[in-house]
Structure 1
């Protein structure tokens, strides 16, 4: 099996794991950047740590290295178009990428949060580690909260966006 064949098979196999979809954003010198990710997870409650993985060559990773800050917005099922837009490498850079998208500044870092999302995490970089063709970015969530917790989440499975019927209520999740 060639390296290319291995990469295709690994990606297909990993695609069997349903993930949430989020957008990671950062701002440096008042220039915002953002990118869709499905590699996001919480790491620790004490301290409040989260993790995302970004390709070494991504502009967003370079900006996070320079700024030391980022925010993650957890996307809702009705945000498929936003997820596709920020996953498209052909989108414009900087503020032009956000035209027509409702965003607001995260309270601690000033990174952009997507206002129609489910939740956000406003982070300061705690650690960066190069692993393979990506960097693992661990951030301390210094501010976080629910935005629209009753909306259904956007999921990614087998190479496409999916959703579930509805988000569970706080009472039924307990």
Structure 2
């Protein structure tokens, strides 16, 4: 599967249990349907994000631009700083529909409400109805993941 290039996004949510914002880097985010507008993200079942998405009804995705490689790496790091510290110095705003962080400078943002969760091996596929989507910032080129590393187009 390393031969499959994919876009890099940051999935975020606000934990209704403690009010903390959480985020994870994802390369498995895709559009499922236009009518109704549905998207899907794949999340490890033993992750903090899975715990939060089980409790939170809404979440968001920021599609990262090629200049946001360091941000993607920080939120993908195992044994990383707490999410609270990561968000403290990550420019973002709170999504009006999801209450989740939307990353400044991203290519686009999508706010979602969970419609369905589907078990799939050691992951869960979280299908969300799009509540709002829009262009977020000046980035024009996507950050890609290919052959185990971040890449740029061209």
TM-score interval (norm. to shorter):
over 0.9
- After alignment, is 107-116 or 86-95 more displaced? 86-95
In the TM superposition, what are the counterparts of 1:122-133 in structure 2 within 5 Å? 122-133=111-122
- C-alpha RMSD over aligned residues: 1.2
- Superposition deviation, residue 97 in structure 1: 1.9
Query: d(CA) in 2 for partners of 1:95 and 1:151?
Result: 28
Alpha-carbon offset, residue 148 of structure 1: 2.5
* CA–CA separation in structure 1 for the residues paired with 2:10 and 2:94: 14
Measure, in 2, the Cα distance between the counterparts of 1:128 and 1:91.
Answer: 27
Partner residue, 2:22: 33
How far the C-alpha of 1:139 sits from its partner, in A, is 0.3
Note if contact 2:65-2:139 (Cα within 8 Å) is conserved in structure 1.
no
Distance 1:149 1:43, change over 3 A: farther
Scaled by the length of structure 2, the TM-score of the pair is: 0.94
Conservation of the 8 A alpha-carbon contact between 1:119 and 1:149: no
Task: Name stretches of at least 5 consecutive residues in structure 1 with no aligned partner.
Answer: 1-13, 166-174
Q: Cα distance, 1:131 vs. partner?
A: 0.6
What count of residue pairs does the alignment treat as equivalent? Answer: 152
Write out the 4+ residue segments of structure 1 that deviate beyond 3 Å after TM superposition: none
Larger radius of gyration: 1
Are 2:73 and 1:84 equivalent residues in the alignment? yes
> How high is the TM-score relative to the length of structure 1?
0.84
